[in-house]
Structure 1
């Protein structure tokens, strides 16, 4: 069962509230976050830093600054 929570992200002086679901995968997890109408998957890499996996089929890009703000917020949790 995946419950959706809200991730507050401060970006360009605005507080964005992004829907986030935690999806367990064996001994690890992925964070599924809705960003600009797209579902992006964030997970930790081998160094413990978050990376984003873009699974969107429309290939429209998400602002890199916004992605960096999301990663900074996740790292601070």
Structure 2
């Protein structure tokens, strides 16, 4: 079992700390990140970055800029 960890992300001049969890997914992995009581799943993309998988946007107010900031932070952690 993977232990949760904290990802510090700077977005619009403020540092946010999000709980995250590494998940094995076949031959690759995903990282589940808890943002404002909703879990967003990020997976590696072909360019070496991360992308958020689609979610039900009707239940969560989606902040694309914040998701991009989290994806960039995950990319920097993997390098």
Shorter-chain TM band: 0.7 to 0.9
Which residue is 2:31 aligned to?
A: 31
Please state how far the C-alpha of 1:4 moved relative to its aligned partner: 0.3
Over 3 Å off, 4+ runs: 54-59
Which residue is 2:54 aligned to?
A: 54
- CA RMSD of superposed structures (Å): 1.7
Residues 69/57 of structure 1: CA separation in 2 closer, same or farther (3 Å cut): closer
Q: Which has the higher strand share?
A: 1
Q: 5+ residue gaps in structure 2?
A: none
Number of residue equivalences: 77
TM-score by length of structure 2 reads 0.84
The SS at the match of 2:47 is coil
TM-score by length of structure 1 reads 0.85
Q: After alignment, is 51-60 or 14-23 more displaced? A: 51-60
What is the distance in 1 between the residues matched to 2:9 and 2:57? 25
